[in-house]
A and B are shown apart, each in its own frame.
With several copies, the nearest count.
Chain A
């Protein structure tokens, strides 16, 4: 599209790219913050290399951060960037193909040296060889300008060059007329002790900003005023999935008036949750870094046996190691939260890439008939509510619960309306009722939930012994009785199916009551929302149904889906939810699967909708 069309858009996609060492993620985070404070809705996508600090200048070492922000409701980081800020040749070439035609490309000229072009496997200089023909190119000697700006403060060359990202950030902030103050504050906090660093980075930030104002780049680099988003009259903040999940767990502890123990072993992309929680003992959350995933879930189970709510967290390979112990938690009927931040597999796979391929494992992945509830988060902010919901289910039914999230929402951030915490209902538990009369039987079960009594050591009324061997349904003693095993098996499945008696009916996110139903789950929410929204605008008979409850499914789902001529199931796996829908509802569905480590592009989902939906009659008539 031409420059005019480009800048008419009410929301924009900006991508920052450079070396792992260039502080790209920081740049992105600061810009995100500024956009939020400017009242823009937004969604981000940090896209860093697998290597901790990949060699400078290499293609695989490029670190990028993409954000879509603006005046519409934003649910994805955007398919194609309108603006690319590339701090070196590699950052330019690996990202070119993503750009919208006519996109603005801002490059640091100084980085396009012979040697660094070679480092990026380039034989010619893309700035001159015409590969940028389709784009508006803005060549700036960022390195030079930065050094100039910081010279007064006597920083070493290394530190001076490190200020580059703030210079570029300053320029972009100017472009979209966004505030520098939050970043300035951050710089002061971060480098507080070192005055020179504070001054230098601030100077770079301001110089970049000033450059935009003063440099006569006219059309190419002009300032654009992005309208504010249609937000509610509440408070907002930006939040990542990792943060939201951690906060949700802590909040749930308060709602259940329960102390919690988070036991985990680091693994990408799950570690961030442990990082966020470490040190928050005062919030009733103790964290324990175990020697491995098995010890992590086992210590969590021990905590639940001892009366604290045990929580464990990992990613696919680590969850695999936990499955034996999960069986024990089911057999002992203990509450337990298992968070799975899914990543691309099989095996080690692509740890930093996202995928939705652990649904089979969550629903079916245990030996024996060992059912348990499974729910999934749809977006960064949604992790807060799903964490609370997972705890609610676990404590209501005295069962382990698996909460599925993934690498994409763990790292991505969105604009999030601050929840009115006092409006959240308390979470009841099955703890012993000291006032209850009658015999104190720890395996007396609530007929509605099959929850047994959550008695813990220290309680004089319930001294009991339990284990992984099949137990008598009443006394809890070891029992090899065949009828008892049948009854226990039935009780265990009833326990999980009874969850459906407490969850809300499945709702329609948007769209028509007939035609094509697009049924999805987890982190694809944003892309599917956008795709269905646009298809609806284009007159297609299509609806969005997004599942939070994976097992059991909401009771009305079957009836709801029966209304539609066709069901489309887009997933970032080979069709795992589709299997579940066939198994539980015996409904046929069209699968749309992508397993390449990337989130869906809105466009891909739209194409799938076009291929399976028809225009509404009246629309066609009108058209």
Chain B
């Protein structure tokens, strides 16, 4: 199926997100990615949990399983282990994946099951009407935190590093140019791909990503990580990241100022987990790291998982039945 349009991957179901929800653009990027890859819907499965984000599978013209809250990675693991030939995507949210589902996400990542996990992070529980989530920033006011939340949030990417993930990316919902490519990079990665998508919930957490998604501010508040390239950012790409080897921290510098030359700038190495930890945990005002922050080769769980078409099973069953001393009274 060479000549496919992204429209061919839309299902016949009416999309039911709020007007203006970031999920619409992510859905479009998913359709694009599938089209770009010429994916075969017949051998593609979208598995999701529960949440606004988790409704996505209904809108993709492949096999789809909208399951229960937080369990998508576990169910997807079963799908993949049962039939490793399938292209299995997981759609989850910050609540679904990191609140109730944290354990399954951890184990999918450490096992390195060949799944493409998309976590829509809107820093809120959308479907249940706007309670703060484990990624909500300190002080987030919500129906369950009227005086502002005081739970330290978890940083999805940093958590993924801790879980031993072999592919970690971060992208913005409206980035129609970049997102499809990242989704496909995750798709072809051997092992679990973890892709955090910064998504705007316009009803309950509007513009929480303003800084990184608005034309005006994006250039200065984000840095795009490209393997082998210096970590430069800013409108004129004069700003860059430098490693302070004494304090083992990252600092933002300006090339050409204070004797800083391009050679001082960190060159991105996507295979280094420590760099991934550094980049993914950069606090503002340092720019937010986007793109494929981490990717390293590793054996996928489902390839080592012994999956055999049984042959001569009937004989084998009969053998097993006799695996023990037998008293013959015939």
Report Cα–Cα, A339/B45, bound state, in Å.
Answer: 28
Tell me the dominant secondary structure on chain A's binding face: mixed
Enumerate A228-280 residues with CB–CB distance to B below 8 Å: 231-239, 247, 250-251, 253-254, 259, 261, 263, 265-268, 271, 274-275, 278-280
Task: Verify A457–B327 contact, CB threshold 8 A.
Answer: no
A residues adjacent to B (C-beta < 8 A): 33, 36-37, 39, 51-56, 58, 60, 182, 231-239, 247, 250-251, 253-254, 259, 261, 263, 265-268, 271, 274-275, 278-284, 286-295, 298-308, 310, 317, 324-325, 327-328, 332, 347-348, 415, 418-419, 421, 456-460, 463-469, 477-478
Contact partner of A233 (CB less than 8 A), chosen from B144, B146, B330, is B330
Q: Give bound CA distance, A253 to B310, whole Å.
A: 10
B77 touches A302 (CB 8 A): yes
Bound-state CA distance A293–B69 (Å) is: 11
- Determine if B66 and A469 form an interchain contact, defined as CB atoms under 8 angstroms apart: yes
Contact residue among B43, B82, B309, B321 (Cβ-Cβ distance under 8 Å from A418): B321
B167 contacts across to A, CB distance below 8 A:
none
Classify chain B's interface size.
35 or more
Closest 10 CB pairs of A and B: A302-B78, A467-B66, A284-B310, A299-B78, A465-B64, A298-B74, A292-B100, A53-B18, A306-B82, A295-B74
List 27 A–B pairs whose Cβ atoms lie within 8 Å, in order of A's numbering: A33-B325, A237-B327, A253-B310, A265-B99, A265-B100, A271-B143, A279-B146, A281-B306, A283-B320, A284-B308, A284-B309, A288-B77, A291-B74, A293-B100, A298-B74, A299-B74, A299-B77, A302-B76, A303-B82, A418-B322, A421-B314, A421-B318, A421-B321, A463-B63, A465-B11, A465-B57, A467-B65
Rounded to whole Å, the gap between the CB of A279 and the closest CB of chain B is: 4
Contact B68 A468, beta carbon cutoff 8 Å: yes
Complex partner residue of B79 from A60, A295, A305, CB under 8 angstroms: A305
Q: Which residues of B contact A (CB under 8 A)?
A: 11, 13-14, 16-19, 41-47, 50, 52, 57-58, 61-71, 74-83, 85-86, 99-100, 102-104, 106-107, 125-129, 131-132, 134, 143-147, 151, 203, 305-311, 313-314, 316-318, 320-322, 324-330
The smallest beta-carbon distance between A101 and chain B, in angstroms, is 33
Say whether B132 contacts A289, CB under 8 Å.
yes
* 8 further A-B pairs in the complex, CB-CB below 8 A; given A236-B328, A295-B74, A468-B66: A261-B82, A266-B129, A274-B144, A284-B313, A291-B99, A466-B64, A466-B66, A469-B66
How far apart are the CA atoms of A228 and B16 in the complex, in Å?
43
Residue of B nearest to A185 (CB): B325
**Cβ-defined contact, B317 with A251, below 8 A:** yes
Total A-B pairs, Cβ < 8 A: 277
- The reply to whether B102 and A291 form a contact with Cβ atoms under 8 Å apart is yes
Contacts of B50 in A (CB 8 A): 348, 468
Residues of A within 8 A of B327 (CB): 36-37, 39, 231, 235-237, 415
Q: Find chain A residues with CB under 8 A from B79 CB.
A: 302-303, 305-306, 457
Determine how close the nearest CB of chain A comes to the CB of B274; give it in whole angstroms.
26
Partner of A253, one of B46, B147, B313, B322: B313
